[in-house]
Amino acid sequence: MSSDLTEKEMALIRQGIKEKYVRVAQTGSGGCFQYPTGAEGMRLQGYPLDLVKDFPKTILDSFCGVGNPFSLGPIREGEVVLDIGCGAGVDTLMAARMVGPKGRVVGLDVTEEMIQRAGANLSLVPSLNNVSFQVGETESLPFPDKEFDVIISNGVFNLTLNKAKALKETYRVLKPGGRLLLADMVLVAELPQERAGNVENWYQ
Amino acid sequence: MDFLALLKKAGFPSANFVKLTGFKSSPYTEGALFYAEKPGVTQEQEVSMSQKKALQAYEEFRGLTFGPGVLDLKTKYLIALGASLAAGCDP
Ligand SMILES: C[S@@+](CC[C@H](N)C(=O)[O-])C[C@H]1O[C@@H](n2cnc3c(N)ncnc32)[C@H](O)[C@@H]1O
């Protein structure tokens, strides 16, 4: 798909996505999306909220995922987890609860402002000391081969221009037998002609 | 190419589309859940495989020891009994 785009269009799309998420990072997820976000979104998707009862509301408020990756299978104590496109880190912190102190979770996002918010959210839960956040891009993951037991991602690959490359990277950093728990936006209806070529489709 | 096909091509042959989530970002796009595993041996499987190997090796050793040789079977069993009594366990 990406081969149909010119360099200029790709740069425009990347810029648009960044600008949108800088905005989301600054204002919070409320009002930026057409689906329910925050704690209400999590409740609707059946998140195990009991696990994070002690998290302040501001953390849950920054959720803007499109589904519940944790509904796809258990994450076990002691496992090493990567959250690709972690945003403000709500899923990351929840995974950290699941793996416990013997496990480890890394949150990665391309938007620096998002990583800052994730760091701020983490500092609100002092009991978690198995989490780190870093800036990075799906298409070239800054990790060695076979590093993770589980990779989660929520609403990110649809924003990735070279999905084939991003998925190969995902495969590379997973351990053999490792699991990918993925929630993402997909096209469920044909785009009308007049919208089909719009760059805004990428970051709505 | 659709996303599931891309997942399979990236090395996840058993990748699965699980369901739509009901969250729509536009009339044309909706959240979806996918599950995939990287093929290969997990650590658990590796451990149980190495256990299997050890058991196989032990059984081979036992078979050879009690198989036909210079001493007859009765003598070998009595030696084994003596050795295990001396070591504090039953054969
Ligand atoms: C819809 S938000 C989801 C955030 C978070 N996973 C959640 O559920 O709350 C999408 C996130 O993907 C990030 N993102 C977009 N393109 C990316 C890329 N190429 N590499 C890494 N992250 C990306 C954005 O910065 C944004 O934080």
Q: How far from A38 is each of A17, A91, B25, CA to CA, in Å? A: 20, 12, 15
Q: How far apart are the first and last CA of chain A?
A: 18
CB contact under 8 A, B6 and A69: no
Does residue A198 lie in a domain region? no
Is the C-beta atom of A90 inside 6 A of ligand 1? yes
Tokens of residue A139, six digits: 């298409």
What pLDDT tens digit does each residue of chain B (91 aa) get? 589 999 999 999 999 999 999 999 888 899 999 999 999 876 667 777 778 888 888 888 888 888 888 999 888 888 888 888 888 776 5
Residues of A whose CB is below 8 A from B11: 168, 171
pLDDT of res. A105: 98
Tokens of residue A157, six digits: 């690959």
CB contact under 8 A, B33 and A44: no
pLDDT of res. B65: 87
CA dist., res. B89 & res. B91, Å (int): 7
pLDDT of res. A12: 85
Please tell me the total count of domains within chain A: 1
Which residue among A35, A170, A189 sits closest to B25, beta carbon to beta carbon? Answer: A35
Does residue A56 lie in a domain region? yes
Which residue among B22, B25, B41 sits closest to A204, beta carbon to beta carbon? Answer: B25
In the three-class reduction of DSSP (H, G, I as helix; E, B as strand; rest coil), residue A157 is classed as: helix
pLDDT of res. A27: 75
CB contact under 8 A, A183 and B29: no
Residue A161: HSE in the Cβ half-sphere, 13 Å Cα cutoff: 21
What pLDDT tens digit does each residue of chain A (204 aa) get? 445 778 888 888 888 888 888 888 877 666 667 889 999 999 999 999 999 999 999 999 999 999 999 999 999 999 999 999 999 999 999 999 999 999 999 999 999 999 999 999 999 999 999 999 999 999 999 999 999 999 999 999 999 989 999 999 999 999 999 999 999 999 888 777 666 666 666 655
Q: How far apart are the first and last CA of chain B?
A: 64
Q: Which residue of B has its CA nearest to A36?
A: B23
Tokens of residue A84, six digits: 């690709």
CATH at residue A45? 3.40.50.150
Does residue A192 lie in a domain region? no
Is the C-beta atom of A138 inside 6 A of ligand 1? yes
Going from the Cα of A24 to the center of ligand 1, the distance in angstroms, rounded, reads: 11
Tokens of residue A177, six digits: 């037998």
- Other CB atoms within a 10 A radius of the CB of residue A62 amount to 23
Does residue A141 lie in a domain region? yes
Going from the Cα of A93 to the center of ligand 1, the distance in angstroms, rounded, reads: 15
Provide the shortest C-alpha distance from residue B29 to chain A (in Å): 4
pLDDT of res. A89: 97
Q: In what order do the strands lie in the sheet with A104-109?
A: A131-135, A104-109, A80-84, A148-154, A174-187, B29-37, B16-26
Task: Determine the structural domain holding residue A73 and report its residue range.
Answer: 7-186
Q: List all residues 6 or more positions away from A56 whose beta carbon is below 8 Å from its beta carbon.
A: A124
pLDDT of res. A1: 47
Provide the shortest C-alpha distance from residue B22 to chain A (in Å): 8
pLDDT of res. A189: 81
pLDDT of res. A2: 47
- Name the residue of A55, A62, A64, A109 whose CB sits within 8 Å of the most ligand 1 atoms, as the mutation to test its pocket: A109
Provide the shortest C-alpha distance from residue A5 to chain B (in Å): 15
